[in-house]
Amino acid sequence: MEQKNIPELNIRFAQASPEGVIRYFSDVYAGKVAFASSLGAEDQVIMHLIATLDVPIHIFTLDTGRLFAETYDLLHKTQNRYRLPIRVYFPEKKEVEEMVNQKGINLFYNSLANRKQCCRVRKIDPLQRALQGMQVWICGLRWQQGITRTKNQMVEWDEQNQMLKVNPLIHWTDEQLWGFIRQNNIPYNILHDKGFPSIGCQPCTRSVALGEDLRSGRWWWENPENRECGLHKKD
């Protein structure tokens, strides 16, 4: 299925359930579908759905080396709960060493260019390795996550990785998300209960006040339109 079919797919799945979307792509692209989990609330829901549907999807997460201890605890709990093979991808050691030794351990605070370099080394490059051989990338993007996500669609073309990107929860509200988590007793990061709606690397994530944008705690020292790591780049 080519890029030109995306508008048709978005019409087809406008009212579809996340389960229906996941089932469709896992059937049509059998063995070529990957799910990248950040272990955020949305991704925990998708993990639950994949386990329930028992579909053959390559599941992985990215360990940047700067994650919260609570995130590692959740990975352990998730592996024990669902018994799914969750592969962990790490950044290349040599690149991390060169970057840190040249620019410092917390280089990302000094400039936008430095922050993007850190995200590339620790996240984007490992992601591209994880997606090799795949044709569909399942993500947990939602419109309500913030201003950088409002233009995303259910089905998109990811130019950076030359593949389809599918966001089964794109329409879900916060209420739907957390209602589903509680109803199904899905494990989630305890930092969500402490004012962290979006959780990434520890040095680049802070809690947010009630009413603030959900992603305002990510790279909070930067302008809102820059608060993406580059995994979901839209030109």
Q: Which of 211, 180, 135, 128 is nearest to 17 (CA)?
A: 180
Q: Are 208 and 216 in contact, with CB atoms under 8 Å apart? A: yes
- State the amino acid at position 215 in one-letter form: R
Q: Are 134 and 127 in contact, with CB atoms under 8 Å apart? A: no
The Cα–Cα gap between 196 and 18 comes to: 25
Q: Are 163 and 134 in contact, with CB atoms under 8 Å apart? A: yes
The Cα–Cα gap between 136 and 31 comes to: 10
Classify the C-alpha dihedral 33-36-39-43 as positive or negative.
negative
The Cα–Cα gap between 148 and 218 comes to: 12
Q: Which residues are catalytic?
A: 229
The Cα–Cα gap between 58 and 215 comes to: 27
